[in-house]
Chain A
């Protein structure tokens, strides 16, 4: 009897022990949380793997200068938005996070702090702020642009200005036994970026996407999309199958002179550091329907979590203010992160050639806006990629059929996203 009593006693102890452990943990978290709500500690969660180390250094400097502790959370990049979503849901969200797409902001705008009245937003370059219903919710990381990256020894951009000259150039390279162009096997490199051009060439690309989502219009009725089909056919005829070309191979073949042009953006520039290029590279507009502009936009924006205490939001604001206005902050943005600055108070020199072309185009206002930021969430990977893969695998699919398939895929994406 006695034995069993002590036994039941110890059984009862188990939950206590467990809660005791639990309390220990929450005690530690509690300290952090206290510091956070008092504005003495902030956390940052962002999606660019390339800058994680540099951002941590920046954070350490900031802590030294101001005493406010800054913690940078690591990321794997590819499933960033899912992770962010999970953290916000469990009330363990960061103080500052980043958003890539307008459609992402639409979904989690209740977590975004309205920074319209903050001081630093005045420095954002024209039309580059992350806006929702007229308020500013995000400050751009930097500008990114894409187009045809070309080998200056092989290609003269003035000879590639429309569909006919594009095909003639590819024909010429085929005779010379050089790949004219190559795409890489990633949903954005294969169709996501390329599909921008016909959208961005419309008068109001945002409105166009909305009309398409509502089923009011069909892609097949637009000349620009028919031409996209023709361009894709030319790529299918003259280029290696993109599904067999990895990003590394695409860059490698280009850097060693086996490929004359690749469709890429200035983000690829650091990859050329691994090669000793014996030629100069440049970026030219993709000549769809005679387009003569680079597609320039913002890849990611800094956003402050609205779901935190006023003090923590203030601390996050102070951090951003410091990064966007102090000399050290500017140095980090340009030299360490290697961004093309989207802030008017930053001077940028010593950019790599591709970034320089992007910045020149932006300064000359010779740019096309990005349209893929308005696409239904995840539609590039889930909906636009499959018909594109099919098109590249099956030569019997005509360009018209391909655009019809894309149009159908879009309807599915819009329906899923509603």
Chain B
């Protein structure tokens, strides 16, 4: 009986497994393989096996460290901003506001717009719209072209990413909040807990599963950010926002160092893997059973 079911399961997952293998596993293994070669990406040109040289060259690559550090900085800011805002919005729209349904739709909407387009829209806001605001209303220390300032451009990127992702995380948090039984909260109320205490000691612990998912998603999304990065700043000004995915793309297609870029991608993969798995391990441990 059991054997029979396994067969059926295999049958129905076969198409997915085949597609997954073709578009994820095979390219992944090939990428790993290419990282041991010096190659410019043109099949007619020679591919020279150079062992681990690409990886040793990484050690002394200053651009690599700069880009890694920028990515880490971005990720920290983005994860905090997205989750704080996402949770805040979720609490807001599960309260007794009259317009909750509209509010939910509104907050989720940015997530439906593709990252490239979002980047171009915000590029207009940060450069032209801000300049006009500054010229007309003063406050020119804030209202100027953010994308031309090496330090502000990073914040601009965080703002756009937060705007895009907070609604998505909000939906996950809403599901978590609605999964908390009403009687638990009511019991806390009767015991005299005020709303801050209820949030801190009842809702938060019971929301841990949602935190696990949301932190995992935001961590991996912000590490891998590419589309918004490309369209909003394109790594500029003066390379101050060239995050890792863009950096690897430029290494491979800009400088045509195929093997070297692949080596960077492998290191990048290991880094994301390590960080996200650690995070999942830590937050899983803090999840409580009802």
Contact = CB atoms under 8 A, between A and B. Distances in A.
A169 B255 CA distance: 40
Interface stretch (B213-221, B234-242, B268-276): B234-242
A243 B42 contact: no
A269 interface: no
Contact of A108 (B18, B42, B239): B42
A8 B42 contact: no
Interface stretch (A128-136, A214-222, A385-393): A385-393
Interface in A86-101: 88-89
A378 B252 CA distance: 11
A10 B253 CA distance: 44
B254 interface: yes
A110 interface: yes
Interface string A38-64: 000000000000000000000000000
Interface string A372-389: 000001100110001101
Contacts of B11: 7, 10-11, 14
A110 B45 CA distance: 8
A386 B238 contact: yes
A390 B7 CA distance: 63
Given A389-B236, A393-B148, A393-B238, A11 B10 contact: yes
B145 A389 contact: no
A113 to B, nearest CB: 13
B54 interface: no
A110 B250 CA distance: 24
A357 B230 CA distance: 37
A6 B37 CA distance: 47
Given A108-B42, A382-B255, A389 B238 contact: yes
B42 A89 contact: yes
Given A88-B42, A111-B44, A381-B254, A7 B237 contact: no
B120 to A, nearest CB: 12
B111 interface: no
Given A11-B11, A11-B14, A14-B15, A244 B40 contact: no
A417 interface: yes
A85 interface: yes
B8 interface: yes
Given A243-B148, A244-B145, A14 B14 contact: yes
Interface in A134-159: none
Contact of B7 (A8, A110, A307, A377): A8
A7 B4 contact: yes
B44 A377 contact: no
A390 B148 contact: no
Contacts of B14: 11, 14
Interface string B106-145: 0000000000000000000001000100000000000001
Contacts of B131: 244
Contacts of A82: 253
Most-contacted residue by chain A among B7, B41, B43, B255 (CB, 10 A):
B255
A89 B148 contact: no
B283 interface: no
Contact of B8 (A7, A110, A382, A390): A7
Nearest to B260: A416
B94 interface: no
B237 A107 contact: no
B178 interface: no
Contacts of A107: 40, 42, 45, 256
A377 to B, nearest CB: 6
A334 B145 CA distance: 42
Contacts of A79: 253
A3 interface: yes
B146 to A, nearest CB: 12
A18 interface: yes
Nearest to A79: B253
B267 to A, nearest CB: 18
Given A18-B18, A393-B237, A393-B238, A378 B254 contact: yes
A89 B257 CA distance: 16
B43 A382 contact: no
Contact of A3 (B4, B15, B18): B4
A75 interface: no
Interface string A292-313: 0000000000000001000000
B95 interface: no
A390 to B, nearest CB: 5
B234 to A, nearest CB: 9
B10 A416 contact: no
A18 B18 CA distance: 10
Nearest to B11: A11
Q: Which of B8, B11, B238, B257 has the most A CB atoms < 10 Å from its CB?
A: B238
A382 B238 contact: no
A171 interface: no
Interface string B245-261: 00000100111110000
B56 interface: no
B238 A390 contact: yes
Contacts of A10: 11
Given A4-B4, A11-B7, A110-B44, 8 more contacts: A4-B3, A89-B42, A107-B42, A243-B237, A378-B254, A389-B236, A389-B238, A417-B256
Pairs of residues from A and B, 4 with the lowest C-beta to C-beta distance, nearest first: A110-B44, A416-B255, A89-B43, A7-B7
12 contacts: A3-B4, A7-B8, A7-B11, A85-B41, A88-B44, A107-B40, A107-B42, A110-B45, A244-B145, A244-B148, A378-B256, A389-B236
Interface of B: 3-4, 7-8, 10-11, 14-15, 18, 40-45, 127, 131, 145, 148, 236-239, 250, 253-257
